[in-house]
Structure 1
Amino acid sequence: MNLESMYQEIILDHYKNPHGRGLRDPYDGESFQVNPTCGDEVTLRVRLDGDTVSDVSYEGQGCSISQASTSVLTDLVVGHTVDEAMTKMDAFVELMQGRGRVEPDEDVLDDGIAFAGVAKYPARVKCALLGWMAFKDALGRTNGSASSNSVTSNGAETR
């Protein structure tokens, strides 16, 4: 099995068996994001215990890339400090915006490296980033710093 096939299997596995799916209470911040280009959407909740991400849950609909990426996000950030989670997010965003020229760090991104091939397709990058933008926005809402309606850096509308 070649690397690209293995990455496709990881994405399909997270799509078919999503981690973190199903909105849970209690939560400290929530964000709804939609990709106006394709209609993918996600509502994501984050729960903090001090400065540690103790839970991430979500509901959404959309393509396998958007839903699998959000599943991977939950695995990568739960149990880590907010700073560590943001470092992982920065690495994922860099990978997605690298147009296939960024070498992913498996130690940081784990299953997130499966999305390296997605970065070659700009129309799909927004799909892969949807859950991550919801996570960032939900974190911002934990301390009331985010507005109730805004537009994320990837062009997705938020409520």
Structure 2
Amino acid sequence: MSFNNLDTLYRQVIMDHYKNPRNKGKLEENGITIDMNNPTCGDRIHLTLKVEDGKVADAKFDGEGCSISMASASMMTQAVKGLEVEKALALSQIFYDMMLGKEYDDEDLDLGDIEALQGVAKFPARIKCATLAWKAMEKGVKSE
């Protein structure tokens, strides 16, 4: 697939997650609640996590922001649900490496739609938008 076709596909995946977010809302039962914002552009996220037996049993988010931050939150909640906390944190590190344009090893974890965000690495000002939800997730699982 040519670079232009791949770039177009990635933009479509990002816009789909932005317009049709997965796991948007709040968990009904008590869970870990994390509120974070990106003061440089106004993105904010309210993340709720349910961690049981060392796994992320459920994850939901609410908030407002640019398409990158909201799509990333949608993708992150989809990706970490059902993962052991250690694997969720490992996935987060892979995501950061991808955002910084570094080599990353995703052999053990399926990135799925998350790979659509790799183009953000070309726009340093947008990296904070993409990583906001991931930082919230890390803060949440580490507080458990």
Q: Distance in 1 between matches of 2:19 and 2:127?
A: 20
Task: State the match for 2:15 in structure 1.
Answer: 12
Q: TM-score, normalised by structure 1?
A: 0.82
> What is the aligned length?
140
RMSD value, Cα: 1.7
DSSP-derived class of the 1:123 partner: helix
Q: Distance in 2 between matches of 1:105 and 1:90?
A: 10
1:87 aligns with 2:95: no
Decide whether the 8 Å contact of 1:105 with 1:113 is kept in 2. Answer: no
For structure 1, the residue ranges without an aligned partner over 5 or more in a row are 143-159
Select the residue among 110, 122, 128 that pairs with 1:108: 110
State the identity as a percent: 39
1:36-51 aligned at under 5 Å gives the runs: 36-51=39-54
Q: TM-score, normalised by structure 2?
A: 0.90
DSSP-derived class of the 2:74 partner: helix
Following superposition, the deviation at residue 97 of structure 1 comes to 1.7
Decide whether the 8 Å contact of 1:69 with 1:112 is kept in 2. Answer: yes
Decide whether the 8 Å contact of 2:94 with 2:104 is kept in 1. Answer: no
1:80-159 aligned at under 5 Å gives the runs: 80-98=83-101, 102=103, 105=106, 108-142=110-144
For structure 2, the residue ranges without an aligned partner over 5 or more in a row are none
Task: State the match for 1:157 in structure 2.
Answer: none
Following superposition, the deviation at residue 105 of structure 1 comes to 4.0
User: Counterpart of 1:113 in structure 2: which amino acid?
Assistant: E
Task: State the match for 1:155 in structure 2.
Answer: none
